[in-house]
Chains A and B, each alone.
Chain A
Amino acid sequence: MTWDYAPAPESRAIANLKPSYRMFLDGQFVEGGGEPLKSVNPATEEVLAEVSTASAADVDRAVKAARRAYDKVWGRMPGAERAKYIYRIARMIAERARELAVLESLDNGKPIKESRDVDVPTASAHFFYHAGWADKLDYAGYGPGPRPLGVAGQVIPWNFPLLMAAWKIAPALACGNTVVLKPAETTPLTALVLAEIIQQAELPPGVVNILPGAGDVGAELVNHPGVDKVAFTGSTEVGKVIQRSLAGTGKKLTLELGGKAANVVFDDAPLDQAVEGIVNGIFFNQGHVCCAGSRLLVQESVADELLAKLRTRVSTLRVGDPLDKNTDVGAINSGEQLARIKELVASGESEGAERWTSPCPVPEKGYFFAPTVFANVSQAMRIAREEIFGPVLSVLTFRTPDEAVAKANNTPYGLSAGIWTEKGSRILWMADRMRAGVVWANTFNRFDPTAPFGGYQESGFGREGGRAGLEAYLDV
């Protein structure tokens, strides 16, 4: 007999979903001059809420409000006082954690167990950690009395909406900057609840401004002459456009872009543990993770055994309702992204890779894609070179450690990498040779505010988190 899971849905009511959300400018929630957007639940394709968007004039007003707040209040406030504001934000995110988690899963499509256990607590922790830096910048290693930059224009993606807002806002505020942030077009809701928290924490008006909108608002923001610092997380393609358009302006820029991480499994690795890490590496957040372990490199002698174990394990992943506590893989964030995943998967088939897709049931409505593993992938194939940003794993093999290094580094990206082996000396040898900003050994997708995160090469520059992350928001 089979033992099926009974549905275990989290209550949607906890999200306190409102019919409409407005942008946050100079301490007030106001209508934007742009065309309102409709945020959609990707699991059901129903409209969740209408959200006002910013016009060019709104961006200008927000940057000016941020400048005033910087000049008059925030830039000259003692660090110890800034710290206490930021601690308040951390605590209030924690207090409203479940509400934020459910809202995030509704708006983004990610499983509630991830929004509840990863996104929201890590966002709160990020504010808590950076609050502590606000009055300790003299100890951060950038010389005495490091100064802030001024107004930061920040543009974030849709894969971790609240967490990315935290990664951007917390260090900016801790270092004494003020902020204009644009959340992603498809996931603006939790950032606007964060704005409510910021208002309740009594931050001075203008210190944080949150302006929803599409790419045009982002372009308006990063190119505004009143902005001193630009931080962007998103695709490498847009990152290059921003770097080009900022050339010659003197604005400080940090970019956190795409990736095509190699996850390298040696023949001495504990295979069951490695399978869990591989699954977490590529199917966490539907694979909508810039540092996802999307290229599995397996030592040839264990490739068949590992693939068999992997398929068995992936078959058990439950795809479906993001609000169900038993769901492992939720909804793809948008129809557009789903189309891109399908297009790349089709290229994998036509280029001759061997496709296997989990036979799991997939909901008929909503944007879903069953976990997929490609074997016999060669380095020349698009699915080995391009970021798919979905639940699709490409498997390649290697014979020697040198070959593993060569293949792992054979990419224009360089965000993250994984190593699976029982041998400590080999972990360190491999880590030393990987051209990647984060290397996980016998684990994957670990994030902590104390640990700097960011990429080499075309995965961007600048770090977020840790002591190194402060540099992005200091005039040093």
Chain B
Amino acid sequence: MSDRLTVSKTYKLYLGGAFPRSESGRTYPVTDARGRFLANAAQASRKDVREAVVAARAAFGKWSRATAYNRGQVLYRVAEMLEGRREQFCAEVAAGEGVPAKRAAALVDAAIDRWVWYAGWTDKVATVLGAANPVAGPYFSFSLPEPTGVVGVLAPQGSSLLGLVSVLAPVIATGNTAVVVTSQDRPLPAVTLAEVLATSDVPGGVVNVLTGHTAELAPWLAAHADVNAVDLVGAPQELRAELERAAAGSVKRVLRSAEPDWTAEPGITRLRAFLETKTVWHPMGV
């Protein structure tokens, strides 16, 4: 073993493309699956949630209007960058989730491939979910999917990387922007993923990552009037009904699906969940 002491990383939030500490100054200790100390993580506050929503809203216009081809290339770039830091993710997933190295590697590989899966969806959603409407009259009518806006994501508590990628990628693939509250006890792969996003041509603010106590942050996110939708997959069971009620305040779209097997092929449920359908009519005639 070398005598050299390693340089430890400070795990911070990811807000608007920058890596600040929590405005509250709070941190909380993160341990591995056997309870040994790994690092301190930032403990985000209500104000951090609000800052994150502002950043996500600011990024929405440009990201949602980017061409689907461009978004696809950016998501594919995330896969390339993730692949390059595969070892780091394997170590963090193994430590945080308490799985053997081989299992951790399989989870990381699946997370990389999941970005590729969603990269391919950006320019296919409209052709699969859109339609020309054969209306009974001299009109040309078509319906197209459009992103719903800012999506609040309560990431899965157990699957710290694959689960996170599986809920985040479909949100941004279609042009939404995201505010993610990470797994409370296993937040480190999410912060490292934020570092990948920051170097993958994902514009700042498209993804914002908050670490902290889910039960503290989730109600603020669910109630925030400038959030258009929430994915509750990582919400504590006892909070779900309350969060759904809070979401009703601004008629948010709520994804309530139970936690799936993250290693299975994801389908397009999560893509559909955060899309609006826009119908356009135009007369036809000389």
Contact = CB atoms under 8 A, between A and B. Distances in A.
Interface of A: 80, 83-84, 87, 125, 128-129, 131-136, 139-141, 401, 424-426, 428-429, 432, 449-450, 466-467
A125 B121 CA distance: 14
Nearest to B73: A128
Nearest to A129: B123
Nearest to A468: B127
Contact of B284 (A136, A141, A432): A432
B268 A139 contact: yes
B72 A128 contact: yes
29 contacts: A83-B116, A83-B120, A125-B69, A128-B69, A129-B69, A131-B120, A132-B72, A132-B121, A132-B124, A133-B124, A139-B124, A139-B128, A139-B268, A140-B128, A141-B128, A424-B283, A425-B282, A425-B284, A425-B285, A425-B286, A426-B286, A428-B282, A428-B283, A428-B284, A428-B285, A429-B285, A429-B286, A450-B127, A467-B128
Contacts of B285: 425-426, 428-429
Could you tell me the dominant secondary structure of chain A's interface residues? Answer: helix
Contact of B116 (A87, A125, A401, A426): A87
A136 B286 contact: no
B116 A467 contact: no
A269 to B, nearest CB: 15
A401 B284 CA distance: 13
Interface string B120-141: 1101100110000000000010
Interface in B7-55: none
Contact of A424 (B72, B116, B120, B282): B282
A86 to B, nearest CB: 10
A425 B140 CA distance: 9
Of all A-B residue pairs in the complex, the 10 with the closest CB atoms, nearest first, are A132-B120, A428-B284, A425-B283, A428-B140, A467-B127, A425-B285, A401-B286, A139-B128, A429-B284, A429-B285
B76 interface: yes
Nearest to B118: A132
Contacts of A136: 120-121, 124
A92 to B, nearest CB: 13
A368 B121 CA distance: 44
B117 interface: yes
A466 B127 contact: yes
Interface string B88-117: 000000000000000000000000010011
Given A80-B116, A80-B117, A125-B69, A132 B284 contact: no
B275 interface: no
A216 to B, nearest CB: 39
Interface string B164-193: 000000000000000000000000000000
Contacts of B113: 80, 84
Contacts of B72: 128, 132
B119 interface: yes
Nearest to A132: B120
A139 B127 CA distance: 10
Interface string B246-286: 00000000000000000000001000000000000011111
Nearest to B76: A87
A437 to B, nearest CB: 16
B166 to A, nearest CB: 14
Given A450-B124, A467-B127, 9 more contacts: A128-B72, A129-B123, A135-B117, A135-B120, A136-B121, A136-B124, A139-B124, A139-B268, A428-B285
